[in-house]
Amino acid sequence: MASSPSPAPGPGAKPAAVSLDAAATGLPCRVLSVAAPALAPDWARWLAEIGFLPGERVTVTTRSVWGGDPLVVRVGQSTFALRRAEAACVRVEPL
pTM of the complete model:
0.82
Distance CA(82)–CA(72), nearest Å, equals 6
What's the CATH number where 61 sits? 2.30.30.90
Please indicate, yes or no, if residue 74 is contained in any of the structural domains: yes
Distance CA(15)–CA(6), nearest Å, equals 14
Which amino acid makes up residue 9?
A: P
60-80: average pLDDT: 92
Phi, psi of 88 (to 5 degrees): -65, -15
Please indicate, yes or no, if residue 65 is contained in any of the structural domains: yes
> Which residues constitute the domain of residue 29?
18-94
pLDDT digits (tens, 9 = 90+) for 22-40: 999 999 999 999 999 999 9
Q: Report the domain count for the chain.
A: 1
